[in-house]
Amino acid sequence: MSEQEMLKIFDKHHVEQGIATREDVHKKGYWHEAFHCWFVGEVNGELSIYLQIRSSLKKDYPNLLDITAAGHLLADETIEDGVREVHEELGIQVTMQELVPLGIISYSVAKGAFLDNEFAHVYLYKNAPNFDLFHLQEEEVSGMVRMSLKDFTEMWLGERTTLYGEGFEVMEGDKHVFYNRIIHKKKFVQHVPAYYETVIKRIEIERMKELLLKGWSLQSSSKWTADNPACGQCSVTSLVMQDVFGGIILKTRCEDGWHFYNQIDGMRYDFTASQFSSTINYDDIVSSREEAFQDTNHQQYEYLLKKLR
């Protein structure tokens, strides 16, 4: 990306202020937008997360491990246009419909004269392809590495400083050299820890949605059916999700009474919205565990909690 390409700039409240060159954005510390896409996929029965190796030609953070695919949003681009980064950098075609939104994460980094104040629109792609399907953009990416999501999580929560990774680097003549090695934390781009922690937590929330589908049954709600497994599960699910992820329980009025759901780190998560055939108009009324328990019982609660732990 050219230093003279134009980006939209914002104030710290994400209110648009105008445009500026990429060079000025990082020289003057203007807030701007970026598109981040993280790949995950199951390898030998374990969920792995994929990172790119930044090219040695990069001005910033050369040769370090970074987000699977990422880039600035230009002044004339929408969020949806950001998906181009995946194809440009990795040679993988994905659509916005295949991506899971993880929300906007804002963060600031100062490295000498380099000031990076960014609103990152973060997405998850849950079907990472085999390494042989990657065709990398040489001036941007020199290789790919995957590692256990569990190990990656432990690293960014401060529980380890090294982990095992496997991947490939592209050498002269477009030759792919595959390797397995121990990787130290210093080999990663040092985004602020809160960024990594937030991404990890939101990936875990998405994984939880899949576990809930397997965990719901008649033992967690008498309204459960195979055709509509989320039916009647809102109260017990909101309680268990608060146990796992924290946050608060919210409620909104529906035809049959109150519908319960969660707010986690300021984002609304309705894990049982699929039970409804129509769009929900959320009231976002703050509720409580006591109120949610009026629509379930301790036996159902203990059953679901145990299924998810």
Q: What is the pLDDT along the chain (309 residues), one digit of tens a residue?
A: 567 899 999 999 999 999 999 999 999 999 999 999 999 999 999 999 999 999 999 988 999 999 999 999 999 999 999 999 999 999 999 999 999 999 999 999 888 888 999 999 999 999 999 999 999 999 999 999 999 999 999 999 999 999 999 999 998 767 889 999 999 999 999 999 999 999 999 999 999 999 999 999 999 999 999 999 999 999 999 999 999 999 999 999 998 899 999 999 999 999 999 999 999 999 999 999 999 999 999 999 999 999 998
29-88 confidence digits (pLDDT tens): 999 999 999 999 999 999 999 999 999 999 889 999 999 999 999 999 999 999 999 999
pLDDT of residue 251: 98
pLDDT of residue 1: 54
Question: In the chain, where does the domain assigned CATH 3.90.79.10 lie?
Answer: 6-205
Q: How many other CB atoms sit within 10 Å of the CB of residue 136? A: 23
Share of the chain above pLDDT 70, in %: 99
Are the beta carbons of 241 and 233 closer than 8 angstroms? no
| Sole residue written with tokens 């965990």 | 215
Fold type of domain 6-205:
Nucleoside Triphosphate Pyrophosphohydrolase (3.90.79)
Query: Is this prediction's pTM over 0.75?
Result: yes
- For helices 234-245 and 193-215, give the axis angle rounded to 10 degrees: 150
Average pLDDT, the chain: 95
Are the beta carbons of 185 and 158 closer than 8 angstroms? no
Return d(Cα 295, Cα 235) in angstroms, integer.
6
Cα angle 201, 203, 205; round to 5 = 70
